[in-house]
Amino acid sequence: AQSVTQPDIHITVSEGASLELRCNYSYGATPYLFWYVQSPGQGLQLLLKYFSGDTLVQGIKGFEAEFKRSQSSFNLRKPSVHWSDAAEYFCAVGARGSSNTGKLIFGQGTTLQVKP
Amino acid sequence: EPEVTQTPSHQVTQMGQEVILRCVPISNHLYFYWYRQILGQKVEFLVSFYNNEISEKSEIFDDQFSVERPDGSNFTLKIRSTKLEDSAMYFCASTGGVTDTQYFGPGTRLTVL
């Protein structure tokens, strides 16, 4: 069965510092991989996604993520965090194959707090 | 930019009552989903819907739940007899293809008393 683990429930970084949010997945093959962000009272907004090809994926708001097959990881990074990045971040996987219905499996989420 | 909308934003109901949560997906999308998020927990898949039928459902989606696309624009989730444990944020999502980006609505917070 597919699963997603985000080991860090809560992370605090200083504004301007770099950020890495971890995501590990369990899946029999290479899944589709996503990072979503949720600001308070808002829905989920897609930051970036990996389907195939280049394992370093660029997203919106200056975020990037790297797919590492050997580590079953898809960590999210940003070189310099802004106060507006404070939010909850979700990693998700989607299945491949003819029976794929588009269902997404989400991780527990990581709450990012940004210190001034 | 097109967006998924959901109504109401907050619904309070008594245990045992029926509720209908409404969603208007993006107009040219073909695949529709409901997810829920119990406070402090992960977002969980409930059901996917394509071509006017359920294509996949989770164990959570039991006989108390149903979905419908009544008029070609709305997509509804009905809970027949609500339980306390149904209290959660319910998100609707839509996409043009199963491998395309899913766009999520802002959610409906359901509180069952």
Q: Tell whether the model's pLDDT for residue B91 goes beyond 80.
A: yes
Q: What is the DSSP letter of B102?
A: P
How close does chain B come to A54, measured CA to CA in Å? Answer: 17
Least confident of A17-21, A78-82, B36-40: B36-40
Tens of pLDDT, residue by residue over A3-57, are 899 999 999 999 999 999 999 999 877 789 999 999 887 789 999 999 888 999 9
Dump the DSSP string for B20-44. Answer: EEEEE--TT--EEEEEEE-TTS-EE
Do A42 and B106 make contact, defined as CB atoms within 8 angstroms? yes
What's the token pair of residue B86?
Answer: 């149904």
Do B33 and A103 make contact, defined as CB atoms within 8 angstroms? yes
Percent of chain B with pLDDT over 70: 100
Interface-testing mutation among B50, B104, B108, B109, with chain A (most A C-beta atoms within 10 A)? B104
Tokens 């491949």 belong to residue: A96
**Euclidean distance between CA atoms A14 and A92, whole angstroms:** 26
Band the pLDDT of A74: cuts 50, 70, 90.
very high
Coil, helix or strand for A62?
Answer: helix
What's the token pair of residue B31?
Answer: 């695949």
